[in-house]
Amino acid sequence: MGSGDKMPAEQHIKVKLQAYNGPEIAIGPGKAALLEAIDRTGSISAAGRELGLSYRRAWLLADVMNRSWVEPLITTAKGGSHGGGACLTSLGHEVLTLYRDLERAVQRVSKGQSGVRLMAKLAETVRPAAGPGGAGQQDEIG
């Protein structure tokens, strides 16, 4: 690929930022979206519904986030006659802000001249996609 060449439309490089705690994703794009939705809705289950997640999946993701950091990112109140709820802790707000700031910084670098050059070089080595979604592609919420 020369400097003016473009990747074929079906091939592209996507930059996705994920922070791990051992084998688990402590935060990634999906978990950040869940934190934002919890902050908006005041509920883990409502946030999950908004994002198209099952009740169980939303709670499992919230649990992973709460176990991955020095303090929980989400605090909950039990239901009852007034209903339960959830909100971000101060650490939850801080982690979300830092994650989104870092995500923007990574995107700026990837879209800059040197980032585009490096991504085009990397794309030259990508095997052509094997149908919808490509070979071995996994959709996970991070």
Q: Is the pLDDT of residue 140 over 50?
A: yes
Comparing CA positions, the residue from 63, 46, 28, 56 lying closest to residue 138 is 28
Q: Is the pLDDT of residue 134 over 70?
A: no
Interhelix angle 90-111/113-123, nearest 10 degrees: 80
Q: Is the pLDDT of residue 96 over 90?
A: yes
The answer to whether 73 touches 65, Cβ cutoff 8 Å, is: yes
Q: Domains of the chain (ranges plus CATH)? A: 19-123 (1.10.10.10)
Q: Report pLDDT for 7.
A: 46
Q: Which CA distances in Å does 101 have to 56, 95, 97?
A: 29, 10, 6
Dist. CA 87–CA 92, nearest whole Å: 9
The stretch 13-32 carries a mean pLDDT of 92
For 43, the token pair is 């509920």
Q: Is the pLDDT of residue 5 over 70?
A: no
pTM: 0.76
pLDDT tens, residue by residue, 35-69: 999 999 999 999 999 999 999 999 999 999 999 99
Of the given ranges (24-28, 84-88, 106-110), which has the lowest mean pLDDT? 106-110
The answer to whether 65 touches 26, Cβ cutoff 8 Å, is: yes
